[in-house]
Chains A and B, each alone.
Chain A
Amino acid sequence: MLRLVNLTKTYRTGDRALTDVSLTVEPGQVVGLIGPSGAGKSTLIRCINRLVEPSSGQVFLGDTELTGLGRGALRRSRRRIGMIFQEYALVERLTVMENVLSGRLGYVGFWRSFFRRFPPDAVSTAYRLLDRVGLSDHVDKRADALSGGQRQRVGIARALAQDPDLLLIDEPTASLDPKTSRQIMRLIVEICDESGLPAIINIHDVALAQQFVRRIIGLQAGRVVFDGPPDQLDETVLTTIYGEEDWSATIRTAHDDDAVDPTEQAEGHDERETPAEILDRERMAGLS
């Protein structure tokens, strides 16, 4: 179970990304997080595993308060949280297997990982996961040799290799075509159902969110403005979240699997916007 209490994030530039966000995700629940670019969706999920340090508020995963942990304890807690990224964030020059095994880095010592001598159970888990996501034939290929959909499957396998208690998923389909997007979303939801894994999915495509998740949270300017089942998402709610617009097409596509709203597609590309540079630097701060 994941619990956020009054989570607030203000960047050093003074940009307020999150204001008093409180929410609870039950075990096995898959939550879709929607909202306009810059609403704080990326910041929210990065505050959970503290790739971005929250300014105030608390994050609980089970009984552990993640916000109070020191470096070592944070590292051990991060092993329990799998993360899947928009542009896949695979290490391009490593093989598929190395990328999946990197999900086990938190569990093995430096020299073992340096010589790529992972324990037998980690290796067999990696093979099993690659089989599950349908990439058994690509184990020793370099990640940059794969197509977009295949890369995202490697990203999913890497997150699952951690044997996580929670999945954080940042725009998993923004760089994918409509068909692949649906396949990837279906795969994610299936896997979560199989193992009762809770997940938060940042997503731009409202129709896709309605199709695949059972709970949707709407974020607007860093505040939660909607929290409910997908069928409650009507024109009024969408206007609250995104602002005034003709929503009839967006809502209709929710019931039509093949049609895709072109504006939704276009929006996917300018996702990393406003304080991207600061965000980048804060992300890298995890290193030093």
Chain B
Amino acid sequence: MAGTPASFPQAWRKRTTRGELLLWVGWLALVALFVFCWEVMNENTMWFFVVDAPAQALDLGSRMVPPRWSYLPALMKPLWDTINMATLGTLLAIVMAIPVAFLAARNTTPSERFVRPVALLGIVASRSINALIWALLLVAIIGPGVPAGVVAIALRSVGFIAKLLYEAIEEIDASQVEAVTATGASSAQVIDYAIVPQILPAFAGICVFRWDINIRESAVLGLVGAGGLGLALQDSLNVLAWPQVTVIFVLILLTVLVSEWVSARVRHAII
């Protein structure tokens, strides 16, 4: 060790005094912005209604209980539709997402300059539109019912699955691909032997995760006429049948719980 202790500086700070000051000014500006936004937001609030809110909530709550359990058998068909919409929609999305993911991944795309941007655009387009909006458009095109819901779920899910899958493809170990390529294997064989084994766990996890999300989404798609539990919910809301609404809520909650449990089990088994 060269030098005596005295020759080294004894003070060390992460930021300069100027940097420290700027940081505090930044925080102050953020607080000021928050206060300003709060003022703008509440310009049109009628505080009379807000004060009234607890009473209103209690009133609505009292109308929702007791739930009309006799309505339950009539909900079995819509429940079946909802599960079908989610499952078929997810399957359709998987079929479309796999090629898109391979076209979008930097290491498997045929052309990084032309094909990849198109695939990425497709992914972004699919992801930027909510399933409910897709359903709204598709009900207008295909007509009300389950098929519109299936397609809506599929179109929304393609982007999600393709995005996560292409990220998984880009993260694979290149040396395994190199080794299989070096044996003289064709491109299809390289995908089958070097890429697929590496992305399989991620792929299975992604699909089950999306199915789980789709069960939740398809439960409300009926609100815009795409069939399933949402349709029943809208019917009940229209006639102010609050005890039936409660039953539907409970059913949706149970369905989501079951799907969450199933997807957790499947992911646990694979990874």
Report A's interface with B, CB cutoff 8 A.
49, 51, 75-79, 81, 83, 85, 87, 89-94, 98, 102-107, 110, 113-114, 155, 158, 162, 168, 280-281, 283-284, 286-288
Contact = CB atoms under 8 A, between A and B. Distances in A.
B183 A288 contact: no
B200 A93 contact: yes
Given A114-B192, A288-B110, 8 more contacts: A77-B184, A89-B175, A91-B176, A102-B180, A105-B193, A106-B184, A283-B174, A284-B178
Contacts of B194: 91
Interface string B157-192: 000000000000000011111111111111111111
Kindly name the residue among A92, A93, A102 whose own CB sees the greatest number of chain B CB atoms within 10 A. A102
Contacts of B180: 91, 102, 105
B234 interface: no
Counting contact residues on chain B (CB < 8 A from A), the size range is 20 to 34
A94 B192 CA distance: 11
Contacts of A158: 179, 183
15 contacts: A75-B185, A78-B183, A78-B184, A83-B183, A90-B176, A91-B180, A92-B176, A93-B198, A94-B197, A102-B185, A105-B184, A162-B183, A287-B108, A288-B108, A288-B109
B255 interface: no
Contacts of A284: 107-108, 174, 177-178
Tell me the interface secondary structure of chain B in the complex: helix
Contacts of B183: 78-79, 83, 102-106, 158, 162
Given A94-B197, A105-B184, A113 B189 contact: yes
Nearest to B108: A287
B185 A106 contact: yes
Contacts of B184: 75-79, 105-107, 162
A90 to B, nearest CB: 7
A85 B174 contact: no
